[in-house]
Amino acid sequence: MLVFVMMAALAAAEQQDPAAQQIILFKEKTSGPVGIMTTSAGAPVPYSEALNTLNTRLIFNEYFMDTMTHLVRERIPERVVHAKAGGAFGYFEVTHDLSHICKAKLFSSVGKKTPVAARFSPVVMERGGSDTSRDARGYAVKFYTEEGNFDIVGFSTPMYVYNDPRLFPTFVRAQKKNPATNLFDANTFWDFLTLQPESIHMFLLIFGDRGIPASYRNMPGFGIHTYQVENEKGDIHFVRFHFTPDAGIKNLRAEEARKISAEDADHLTRDLYKAIGNGDFPSWTVSVQILSVDDIKHAGFNVFDVTNTIPLDQYPLRQVGKMVLNKNAVNYFAEIEQLAYSPANLVPGILGGPDKVFEARRLAYRDAQYYRLGANFHKIPVNCPFRSQGMQVYNRDGRAPVKDNGKDIPNYFPNSFNGPVPYDDKNRIPLIEIREPEPNNYRQASELYMNEMTKEERSRLVENILYSLGSAASFLQDRAIKVFSNIHSDLGYRIEQGLRSNTTKQYQGSSYPYY
């Protein structure tokens, strides 16, 4: 009897891993073959073609021709950054009224639910890389509202790397593999960081305890930009979005992350899929920091600088709602890989950020989607604004999917033949124009190091920096010491002493600049 109980317990344990058991679960919920196999054109495939090609004329075997020619076309261009990801679907529910400052309908009433799609992704890793690399993470949420899709394309850190968008190609290339060796190179990485010291503010978090999340369910998200919003009267305010995991923020230590990576490079993706598949739905509290026009004038710093944070003690979090992820993708490529986020996806009441990084991202993301997915990427189901009154656009033709291609309505505007017309928003206020000074984040970085990190966290930060910096050229190490000393003399001294000690030998030849 005991043996049967143990066997049943083992069987139950196996069923509690929907990621590993996906194909088994599919078999259990289907009573037999789901249908007759067909070619892509819909013609049924006979056994004689499906099970044998020897001693036959291949060009007349449509099953063979169909599958062989499709195989080499099954990969689309990989994202340059954020290529590897986990994702899921769920909803956002309003818990606190925000209508006094923002007229967007997704915030219109307490209890209102809006479908969402979320994608979490390391920045540098290629699709075959490790989930547990030391890296910033993308935190992207698509809200399918009745006014169109609204996207927050954020990060796992409350600040970004630079405030001048010309640096985006430089930042990406410096982190990616050396074009000669095809290896990650600590020299190029530290060359960028020390030439652009405002970037160190974010990387103090990445090299610190926040650099490797224990799971996506325990990872926070931040909109990074200060968004301009408006209410029904046309009054404007400014907000920063925060997503705080209800399960708490939890992270991995470096050695633990390396061990997990050696056994399971897809650890975070697997964990998210398993949790949702078992009904353990992750949730986040969605909050905003709210600033008035007067606040931004007298803040004493540039509230639109994405390399800065906005102090929580001066501008506390105001809860807006909850985000819950309760549905895994049925097909990863169709629903996660083809997810197309863009900061340009805004809705009435949310005008975006007036900073140049936001403006540049509006171009960069759109261009990336056109390149990867084609001109009609909005018509891919996962990107469709399905809750609005349908897309009433004048765009036509192009690479599939075109769906009904606009049917028979006019294809130009303005026209005299009853084509779609713009809506009249009499109270709309344009996005403000700002003048952005050169960034200087030594003050906030120093506060982060001395006031927000414990003694033990500072020690681990130094150790992680040395692990990466130890394999860089000596002139880059010298430059880094100066930058860290500008942040705080203690940090610069500890980095300098660590590099000079014999213990730095263990850091030489690191295969990845963050580790």
Helix (H) or strand (E) holding 65: helix 62-71
Neighbours of 89 (CB within 10 A): 20
DSSP state of 313: T
152 strand-pairing partners: 141
Residue 191 CA to residue 268 CA, distance in Å, equals: 30
Q: Residue 22, SS3? A: helix
Neighbours of 388 (CB within 10 A): 15
Q: Residue 199, SS3? A: helix
In the block, tokens 């169909």 appear at: 66
Nearest C-alpha neighbor of 328 from the set 288, 376, 279: 279
Residue 226 CA to residue 105 CA, distance in Å, equals: 20
Residue 139 CA to residue 122 CA, distance in Å, equals: 9
List own/partner pairs for 415-424 with CB under 8 A and 24 or more apart: 419/394, 420/392, 420/393, 420/394
Rounded to the nearest 10°, the torsion over CA 222, 225, 226, 228 is -110
Annotate 147-176 with DSSP letters as a single string: TEEEEEEEESSSS-S-S-GGGHHHHHHHHS
Nearest C-alpha neighbor of 257 from the set 221, 307, 207, 202: 207
Residue 429 CA to residue 99 CA, distance in Å, equals: 16
DSSP state of 218: G
Whether residue 365 is annotated as binding a ligand: the answer is yes
User: In this structure, what token pair is assigned to residue 321?
Assistant: 């709602």
| Termini Cα distance of the chain | 51
Is the torsion defined by CA of 313, 319, 324, 325 positive or negative?
negative
Those residues whose C-beta lies under 8 Å from the C-beta of residue 388, and which sit 6 or more positions away, are: 145, 146, 147, 148
Helix, strand, coil: what percent of the chain each, to 5? 40, 15, 45
Residue 121 CA to residue 414 CA, distance in Å, equals: 42
CA–CA distances in Å: residue 317 to residues 288, 294, 503: 5, 18, 43
User: In this structure, what token pair is assigned to residue 28?
Assistant: 């259990």
Binding residues for heme: 365
Binding residues: 365
